[in-house]
């Protein structure tokens, strides 16, 4: 892992180097996040797939429910997938009755994708199960720590997105 560049609070390099405690905390955070992402990918796969959808299909349902109906290109961007992969994900959800296609309101060459009532019910069931698990995990933490944890994770997600050079276009931002 490369060492983080030392910087002062103004963003200029600090000739004294990084605070050793801050560096140790950054290393511990990196290791914890690596473990978390790896374990969550498998945990989610095992928990979600028992509902007859893949993790990617579940993410697609979530995007449609949280952000609203959208075109296939927007869905691909939202999920960081190429258009052909997103098309296969959506086609599988459509076959299962979880997504419906309709003519796009402003683009005659495009279709609008939206979650069906069955898709919404399925996603809510999966989400309820996962949130219940996280509720049990957070129960031992003080409210301020719970709020701080969510803020830190959201900030890390935004930083990773910015660093990747990929920016998901919101389905609702048509």
Q: What is the pLDDT of residues 105-145, one digit of tens each?
A: 777 778 899 999 999 999 999 999 889 989 999 999 999 99
Q: Is CATH 1.10.10.10 what the domain over 20-164 is classified as, yes or no?
A: yes
Q: What integer is the mean pLDDT of 69-98?
A: 93
Distance CA 146, CA 58 (A): 25
Strand-pairing partners, residue 103, are: 111
Q: Which residue has the higher pLDDT, 174 or 25?
A: 25
Which parts of 4-142 fold into alpha helices (H)? 20-49, 55-67, 72-79, 83-95, 117-138
Supply the pLDDT for residue 171.
62
Supply the pLDDT for residue 4.
47
Supply the pLDDT for residue 46.
66
Confidence of residue 11 (pLDDT cuts 50, 70, 90): low
Confidence of residue 44 (pLDDT cuts 50, 70, 90): low
pTM of the shown model: 0.73
Supply the pLDDT for residue 172.
54
Which helix (DSSP H) or strand (DSSP E) does residue 115 occupy? Answer: strand 111-115
């Amino acid at each position: 892992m490369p060492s983080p560049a030392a910087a002062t609070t103004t963003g200029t390099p600090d000739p004294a180097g990084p605070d050793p405690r801050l560096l140790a905390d950054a290393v511990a955070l990196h290791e914890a996040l690596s473990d978390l992402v790896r374990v969550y990918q498998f945990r989610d796969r095992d928990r979600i797939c028992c509902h007859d959808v893949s993790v990617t299909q579940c993410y697609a349902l979530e995007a449609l429910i949280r952000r609203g109906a959208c075109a296939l290109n927007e869905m691909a961007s939202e999920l960081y997938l190429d258009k052909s992969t997103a098309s296969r994900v959506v086609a599988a959800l459509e076959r299962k009755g979880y997504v419906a296609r309709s003519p796009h309101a402003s683009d005659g060459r495009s279709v609008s994708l939206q979650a069906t009532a069955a898709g919404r019910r399925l996603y809510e069931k999966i989400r309820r199960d996962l949130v219940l698990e996280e509720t049990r995990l957070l129960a031992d933490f003080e409210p301020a720590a719970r709020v701080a944890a969510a803020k830190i994770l959201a900030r890390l997600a935004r930083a990773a997105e910015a660093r990747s050079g990929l920016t998901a276009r919101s389905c609702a931002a048509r």
